[in-house]
Amino acid sequence: MSDHIPDAGKMVSDTPRTDEQEHFIDGDRGIVDSGLARELERELNAANERIKRLEEAGDWAVYASDREDHIRAELAWRKAKEAKP
C-alpha cells in the first residue's frame, strides 16, 4: 500500500473498476467486457439484498417490545450481518 497523497487537482472516479477495464472504439464510444459487467451486477444484487436484510433487522429492533420480539430482532440482525458481499 502506498502512502502517496494523490494530486488534489485530479478527479477521483466513482467507477474506477469500470474505468480501468474500458476500451474505446471509434474514439468516444467506450465498451466494457461483459464479464466485468456481470461481476458488478452480482455484487450490486448482493449488496441490495444485504441492505434489505439490514433494514428488516432495524425495523425489528425499533419495534421490539417484548422478549419474543427481541429474540426475533437479534436473529434478524445476526442473519443480516453474516452475509457480506
Report pLDDT digits (tens) over 28-73: 778 888 899 999 999 999 999 888 888 887 777 767 655 667 777 7
Give the CB-side neighbour count of residue 41, counting CA atoms within 13 A.
7
* Distance from C-alpha of 19 to C-alpha of 17, rounded to nearest angstrom: 5
pLDDT of the residue at 39: 93
Amino acid letter for position 38 = R
State pTM to two decimals.
0.58
Q: Are 36 and 21 in contact (CB under 8 A)?
A: yes
pLDDT, residue 43, reads 93
Q: How confident is the model at residue 1 (pLDDT cuts 50, 70, 90)?
A: very low
